[in-house]
Amino acid sequence: MSQVSLYDDRPVKQMVYPAVVFLIVGMFIGIFISYNGFLKPDAFAGEYIHFGRVRPVHVSVVTLLWLLSANMGLLYFIVPRLCGVPLWSVKLATATNVIWWPTLILGAFSLPLGTNFGWEYAELPKTLMGGLLPIKILLAIAWVLFAINLFMTIVNRRHEQMYVSLWYVMGTLVWTTFTFIVGNFAVEWVPQGISRVNTSFFYVHNLVGLIFTPMGLAIAYYFIPKISGTPIHSHRLSMVGFWSIAFVYAWIGAHHMLHGPQSQWLQTTSIIFSMWLIVPVWTVVTNLLGTIKARWEMYSKSVPLRFLTMGVVFYLIVCLQGSLQALRNVNELISKTDWIIGHAHMSLLGTFTYFAMGGVYYVIPKIVQKPLWSEKMADWHFNFTLLGSVVMFVALWVGGFQQGLMWANWATGSSYAQFHENVSRIPFLATVSAMWWWWFARLIGGVFIFTGSFLFVLNVMNTIILPVENPERMQA
């Protein structure tokens, strides 16, 4: 039986096609916020477009409508091929997607109307239409159906031995279910006050650590060897990386609240596990870059491999940052500054969006059985995106570090009177105005990223829609 007839890729298309479109929607909203919220505050004024209403829309679109949805589509592609069997139920996948998209779109774009749930990264409303549309419950149902479908595909696999990507897939199916319940439901079940804040930041950090990290690494571990045409550097290292992430990551969310009104033992525990995070990160990066090293010449020839490789590099930087930021003295300087915004963007954009883009570039020609519409446009997409990413990250890090130094001046002296004198010399608004040029650089970086992403969407959609002009390219 040919691969074309063995694998039904309709579920892949149902998730990846819309997700690609929402990528540029989310990035456009981000550029709008960068200008209207920072460079020229409320240049476009209105109740529904100020920062507090639009920022959660940006977060929801880029994390859920783009990244999570694209990753789910890529897992629909990866899991059957690693198992050697078709997806367990294409009908169940279609039903999942029918629930997923309308629910998520209505939830995300209702936020300017004031439906915000009130917790970071969990802003989607519990219900809409006076309680008739339970947004969060429907999303939970869709995710459970997705998980059942992939688990059953793995259970019915033809190959007994499981490749590391399947381990990460199974991990993310379990961890995402638990993390989503904690951040969107259980946060209201615990006592009010610091207990809810602790619960929220368990969710916030594990949205990255136990949802996007295992998803992204499943994608990277599959596509890097596939594109480079070489086996994974070390299967043993891949297992060390998986189990150490499983052991370490859940404990480090509290490092977001160092120096806050929480137990010192919890702060110290989060710092210790944050330092231990270096172990899985180093094993993963060594393994993936060791795989690429065997065919390094492919880096210049393959745009998907370039995105995946730079995603690995950014993964190393962002995780080393995360460990160092958890140290009390470092955290004291950079916490709550724009440094953290740069750190978060390097994680979700520089690492996991790069992984997803690399995966989409590989998958689209396979599922439509046509070559990529324009390799040159893909090259420009990579160049624009990498340039814009570096400009944005550096602007936010340097500007955030400057913010931290200015705020630290307030803490000199030994009395409350001295603190007031320091604040009078460097008022808070002065620290805001000092960031203008760094925010301008962030906007420039964002424009480059948006331009590259527009080329990405144009290239993918033309590959899907337009006929092949030269049939010889398809045969090649």
Which of 405, 427, 330, 258 has the alpha carbon at shortest distance from 419? 427
pLDDT in tens, 269-298: 999 999 999 999 999 999 999 999 988 888
Cβ atoms within 10 A of the Cβ of 372, count? 19
Query: Would you say residue 12 lies in a domain?
Result: yes
| Unique residue bearing structure tokens 């997806």 | 87
Measured distance CA(185)–CA(202) in Å, rounded: 13
pLDDT, position 10: 96
Residues 6+ apart with CB under 8 A from 256: 201, 204, 205
> Where among 143, 161, 179 does a domain terminate?
161
Query: Would you say residue 406 lies in a domain?
Result: yes
pLDDT band at residue 471 under the 50/70/90 scheme: low
What is the number of structural domains in the chain? 2
Query: Would you say residue 314 lies in a domain?
Result: no
pLDDT, position 1: 44
pTM reported for the whole predicted model? 0.95
Query: Would you say residue 433 lies in a domain?
Result: yes
Are residues 277 and 319 in contact, defined by beta-carbon separation less than 8 angstroms? yes
Query: Would you say residue 456 lies in a domain?
Result: yes
pLDDT, position 291: 94
pLDDT band at residue 423 under the 50/70/90 scheme: confident
Tell me the backbone φ, ψ of residue 346, rounded to 5 degrees.
-65, -30
3-class secondary structure for the chain?
CCHHHHCCCHHHHHHHHHHHHHHHHHHHHHHHHHHHHHHCCCCCCCCCCCHHHHHHHHHHHHHHHHHHHHHHHHHHHHHHHHHCCCCCCHHHHHHHHHHHHHHHHHHHHCHHHCCCCCCCCCCCCCCECCCCECHHHHHHHHHHHHHHHHHHHHHCCCCCCCCHHHHHHHHHHHHHHHHHHHHHCHHHCCCCCHHHHHHHHHHHHHHHHHHHHHHHHHHHHHHHHHHHCCCCCCHHHHHHHHHHHHHHHHHCHHHHHCCCCCCHHHHHHHHHHHHHCHHHHHHHHHHHHHHHHCCHHHHHCCHHHHHHHHHHHHHHHHHHHHHHHCCHHHHHHHCCCHHHHHHHHHHHHHHHHHHHHHHHHHHHHHHHCCCCCCHHHHHHHHHHHHHHHHHHHHHHHHHHHHHHHHHHHHHCCCCHHHHHHHHHHCCHHHHHHCCHHHHHHHHHHHHHHHHHHHHHHHHHHHHHHCCCCCHHHHHC
pLDDT band at residue 5 under the 50/70/90 scheme: low
> Where among 161, 187, 218 does a domain terminate?
161
Query: Would you say residue 466 lies in a domain?
Result: yes
Provide the domain limits for residue 3: 1-161
Query: Would you say residue 296 lies in a domain?
Result: no
Are residues 164 and 242 in contact, defined by beta-carbon separation less than 8 angstroms? yes
Give the least confident one: 44-48, 136-140, 254-258, 284-288.
254-258
Query: Would you say residue 261 lies in a domain?
Result: no
Question: Is the pLDDT reported for residue 324 higher than 70?
Answer: yes
Opening angle at CA 79, ends 74 and 84, nearest 5: 135
Which of 183, 398, 165, 189 has the alpha carbon at shortest distance from 287? 165
> Where among 145, 161, 177 does a domain terminate?
161
